[in-house]
């Protein structure tokens, strides 16, 4: 029996001379999770926007449950049973409204819902949506007061309230803890049992192995491979996506130099166990752990945005107690923040200015910015990091997420530093961009210490000389990245390893 809920045939889309979708054919079966993988520029986002009613296709056909489907607006797509949770949290929530209004915003826009709102009824419906999602929160809370993970869950809960027939999730776990992600996976399992088709865009091996029934690889606007069966061929899917073989990371271990950062008895918050950690010249250290393990708190403390509860930090032998990011930068400590959308990207600036903005003095003469120097610097970094753009004058928001992330890395690599902190530099980027970023970080690591906070173990394996595990705001284990016992790392990550384990 043909269980395909959504069928795309010969789908094409071009923007000017750029042909983004090239006769794409794809089926999305009901009651199955289709994991979609593709490098930046493969056409994933364009495909999602066509299904979501943001863009119209130039050619081809989409059928939903056997009927033609060509939504002119996102509202039409939702009425047709297709609901999307986009990667950018700002596309899914409105910070100025409370949780209830965010959960009910689509209903409020429906004709006939009523000009005069009954606040009690709205709150009751919102609480029902939150309860079905397992989302324990006061729905009267302003969204602006919530963290990224809670905002992501609100966007997902809002989508679920429409009871979709096709649910599209774009990197939905990038900001979720393991517990929150498992709650989402359990919900997806229930949707599958009800016959909902799910298109799940992710490159996270752990996500795909947990929920995917099939993997579809995109390359250059076409389907490059479909992988199904009891044992999904993740490596084959990556090979099809990239167009070449997937090889294990082959790192040449750095020769550590003298100590740059020394943490002694550091206690990141009251009640946390104190720990010692030393970071040396030339080496790249990855710190990993579950969401809430303390990775970001450590990064913020090093950059002057979080005051530790106790202990000492020394930079090149001198006390390091920056009271602000500006003070940290003056001391030679740079940090690329975790959430690029709200903490890093400057939307109104082009690529060149986004790179130079913390260091305008370096491209200025007599306090006047030299646009020529600024652009020359940007062009060198664009080439070095293989940033896909037309020119350094492109608007930053015109780039894909992976290329925006490369621009943020270029910002902090544009000037020499003693200590570079990268908080989740691979968040929301594809495997090819991840490897470009990792290779550049390692090539430039000489003469500084580098700390990289990562969510996934494969990210740590690809970039680090040494892997540090955090749990409950303390370092619990350290591993040299050579012949690593993955089971031991996983045990440390979940907190089940003995304290102080090392290898």
Q: What is the DSSP string of 126-154?
A: HHHHHHHHT--S-TTSBGGGS-HHHHHHH
Residues with Cβ within 8 Å of 492's Cβ and at least 6 positions away in sequence, in order, are: 469, 471, 476, 477, 501
Distance from C-alpha of 57 to C-alpha of 46, rounded to nearest angstrom: 9
| CA distances (Å), origin 84, targets 49, 103, 131, 418 | 9, 14, 20, 43
Structure tokens at 188: 């997806």
Measure the CA–CA gap between 446 and 441, rounded to whole angstroms: 10
Report yes or no: 303 and 329 within 8 Å, Cβ to Cβ. Answer: no
pLDDT recorded at residue 499: 41
The bridge status of strand 364-365 relative to strand 222-228 is: unpaired
Distance in angstroms between the alpha carbons of the first and the last residue of the chain? 53
Which H helix or E strand runs over 67?
A: strand 67-68
Residues belonging to the chain: 503
Per-residue pLDDT of the chain (503 residues; tens, 9 = 90+): 346 789 999 999 998 877 889 999 999 999 999 999 887 678 888 999 999 999 999 999 999 988 999 999 988 998 899 988 876 655 667 888 888 888 887 666 665 555 445 677 778 888 888 887 777 788 888 888 887 777 877 888 888 778 889 999 988 876 676 777 887 888 889 889 989 999 999 877 778 888 999 999 998 899 999 998 877 787 788 778 877 554 455 678 889 999 999 999 999 999 899 999 999 999 999 999 877 789 999 999 999 999 999 999 999 999 999 999 999 999 999 999 876 666 678 888 999 999 999 888 888 888 888 999 999 999 999 998 888 899 999 999 888 777 888 899 899 999 999 999 999 888 767 777 788 888 889 999 999 999 999 877 778 888 999 999 998 899 999 999 887 777 788 778 766 543 444 33
Sign (positive or negative) of CA dihedral 45, 33, 487, 237:
negative
Q: Is 215 exposed, middle or buried (0-12, 13-18, 19+ CB in 10 A)?
A: buried
pLDDT of residue 417: 95
- Name the phi and psi angles at 292, rounded to 5: 95, 0
**Domains (range + CATH), the chain:** 4-242 (3.40.50.300), 249-332+417-503 (3.40.50.300), 341-410 (no CATH)
Please state the pTM of the whole predicted model. Answer: 0.61
Tokens of 395: 């608007």
DSSP element (H, E) containing 439: helix 431-443
- Cα gap 131→127, rounded to integer Å: 6
DSSP assigned state of 381: H
Question: What pLDDT, on a 0 to 100 scale, did the predictor assign at position 108?
Answer: 64
Cα–Cα distance for residue pair 36/39, rounded to 1 Å: 10
């Amino acid at each position: 029996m043909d269980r395909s809920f959504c069928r795309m045939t010969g789908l094409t889309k071009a923007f000017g001379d750029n042909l983004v979708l090239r006769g794409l054919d794809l089926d999305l079966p009901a009651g199955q999770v289709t994991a979609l993988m593709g490098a930046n520029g493969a056409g994933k986002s364009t495909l999602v926007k066509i299904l979501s009613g943001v863009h119209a296709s130039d050619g081809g056909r989409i059928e939903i449950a056997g009927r033609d489907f060509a939504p002119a607006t996102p509202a039409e797509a939702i009425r047709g049973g297709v609901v999307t949770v986009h990667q950018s949290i700002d596309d899914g929530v409105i910070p100025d409204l409370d949780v209830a209004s965010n959960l009910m915003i689509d209903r409020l826009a429906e004709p006939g819902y009523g000009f005069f709102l009954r606040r009690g009824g709205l709150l009751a419906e919102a609480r029902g949506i939150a309860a079905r999602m397992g989302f324990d929160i006061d729905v009267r809370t302003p969204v602006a007061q919530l963290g990224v993970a809670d905002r992501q869950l609100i966007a997902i809960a809002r989508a679920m309230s429409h009871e979709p027939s096709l649910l599209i999730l774009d990197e939905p776990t990038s900001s979720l803890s393991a517990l929150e992600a498992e709650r989402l996976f359990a919900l997806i399992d229930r949707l599958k049992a009800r016959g909902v088709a799910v298109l799940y865009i992710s490159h996270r091996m752990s996500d795909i192995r947990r929920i995917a029934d099939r993997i579809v690889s995109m390359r250059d606007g076409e389907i490059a491979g479909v992988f199904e069966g009891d044992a999904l061929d993740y490596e084959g899917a990556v090979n099809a996506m990239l167009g070449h073989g997937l090889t294990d990371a082959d790192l040449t271990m750095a020769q550590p130099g003298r100590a740059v950062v020394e943490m002694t008895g550091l206690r990141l918050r009251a009640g946390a166990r104190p720990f010692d950690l030393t970071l040396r010249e030339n080496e790249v250290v990855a710190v990993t752990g579950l969401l809430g393990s303390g990775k970001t708190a450590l990064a913020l403390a090093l950059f002057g945005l979080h005051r530790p509860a106790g202990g000492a930090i020394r930079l090149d032998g001198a006390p390091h107690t920056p009271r602000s990011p500006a003070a940290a930068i003056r001391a030679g400590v740079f940090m690329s923040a975790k959430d690029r959308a709200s903490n890093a990207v400057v939307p109104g600036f082009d690529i060149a200015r986004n790179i130079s903005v913390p260091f305008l003095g370096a491209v200025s003469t007599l306090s006047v910015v030299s646009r020529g120097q600024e652009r020359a610097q940007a062009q060198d970094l664009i080439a070095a990091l293989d940033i896909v753009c037309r020119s350094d004058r492109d608007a930053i928001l015109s780039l894909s997420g992976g290329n925006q992330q490369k621009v943020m890395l270029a910002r902090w690599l544009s000037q020499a530093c003693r200590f570079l902190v990268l908080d989740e530099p691979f968040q929301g980027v594809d495997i090819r961009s991840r490897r470009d970023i990792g290779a550049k970080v390692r090539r430039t690591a000489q003469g500084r210490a580098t700390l990289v906070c990562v969510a996934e173990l494969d990210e740590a394996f690809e970039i680090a000389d040494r892997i540090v595990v955090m749990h409950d705001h303390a370092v619990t284990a350290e591993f040299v990245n050579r012949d690593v016992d993955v089971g031991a790392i996983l045990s440390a990550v979940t907190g089940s390893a003995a304290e102080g384990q090392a290898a």
